[in-house]
């Protein structure tokens, strides 16, 4: 009787082990067939927007002069605009030290600055507020306020990000527009590329173009726009990468 019970127990244990082993193999096969992929890589779609072309429009900056030094307070800006319907409907946009763009409907104005070193990029836009990208449509200038030192001299290209604005809010089904300029270099001749990064999602382009991104989930997203060299060499200037917070509601 004991021998029969022992044999029955042994058979039951072997059957249980086989079922457990089979279950583990099924789970391993399932994980192998359906690997985990970050959600952002599954849903984000990248497109492009066509920006109006205005090769004859030009923007010149008379002041500040290059590395001109000012006392803390008001700094004068004086622009000259040609072949462009300048005014309230078509203002100048200006970004200082990679901040959000500010629009100005007057060619001569002043702006308050504290002590520091600044780089201003002014540019013309199309009817939708997208940066015009022809040579002469934009201009940049470094200047100093108070006891500050110039940005180290160098010929490295850098980026100016027009859109999105930091802290910009979007509806869930709204496209995120990424609009930028590459200044001081040519994308093809200098073998440059732009990398867009949001969480685990990355997208690269070798064109100076306006991108759209669809599929962001509700919540806060940190967008990085990097200017890179295709040969892998790093750009060391502080304006080669820009960060923006985007909120989807």
Contact 170, 110 (CB under 8 A): no
Give me the residues paired with residue 246 across strands: 168, 221
Contact 249, 217 (CB under 8 A): no
The pLDDT value given to residue 88: 86
The pLDDT value given to residue 29: 42
pTM equals: 0.81
Residue with tokens 């989930």: 217
The pLDDT value given to residue 1: 43
Read off the pLDDT band of 11 (50, 70, 90): very low
Give me the residues paired with residue 110 across strands: 76
Q: How far apart are CA 58 and CA 108, in angstroms?
A: 16
The pLDDT value given to residue 155: 76
Q: Please write the tens of the pLDDT for every residue from 188-231.
A: 999 999 999 999 999 999 999 999 999 999 999 999 999 999 98
Q: Please write the tens of the pLDDT for every residue from 58-108.
A: 999 999 999 999 999 999 999 999 999 998 889 999 999 999 999 999 999
Contact 247, 166 (CB under 8 A): no
Tokens of 47: 């497109």
Structural domains in the chain?
46-248 (2.60.40.10)
Strand 138-145 to 68-70 pairing: parallel
In this predicted structure, the answer to whether residue 36 has a pLDDT above a threshold of 50 is: no
Question: What mean pLDDT do residues 156-163 have?
Answer: 96
């Amino acid at each position: 009787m004991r021998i029969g019970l022992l044999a029955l127990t042994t058979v039951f244990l072997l059957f249980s082990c086989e079922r457990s082993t089979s279950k583990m193999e099924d789970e391993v096969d399932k994980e192998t067939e359906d690997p985990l992929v970050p959600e952002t890589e599954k849903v984000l779609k990248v497109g492009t927007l066509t920006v109006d072309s205005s090769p004859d429009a030009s923007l010149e900056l008379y002041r500040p002069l290059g590395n001109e030094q000012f006392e803390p307070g008001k700094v004068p800006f004086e622009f000259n605009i040609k072949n462009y319907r300048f005014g309230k409907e078509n203002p100048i946009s200006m970004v200082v030290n990679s901040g959000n763009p500010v629009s100005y409907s007057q060619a001569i104005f002043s702006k308050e600055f504290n002590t520091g070193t600044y780089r201003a990029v002014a540019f013309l836009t199309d009817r939708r507020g997208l940066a015009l990208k022809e040579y002469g449509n934009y201009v940049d200038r470094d200047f100093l306020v108070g006891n500050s030192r110039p940005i180290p001299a160098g010929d490295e290209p850098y980026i100016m990000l027009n859109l999105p604005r930091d802290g910009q809010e979007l509806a869930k089904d709204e496209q995120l527009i990424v609009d930028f300029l590459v200044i001081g270099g040519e994308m093809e001749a200098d073998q440059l590329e732009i990398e867009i990064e949001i969480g685990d999602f990355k997208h690269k382009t070798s064109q100076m173009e306006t991108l759209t991104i669809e599929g962001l989930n509700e919540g806060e997203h940190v967008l990085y726009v990097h200017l890179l060299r295709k040969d892998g060499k790093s750009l060391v200037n502080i304006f080669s990468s820009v960060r923006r917070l985007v909120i989807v509601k």
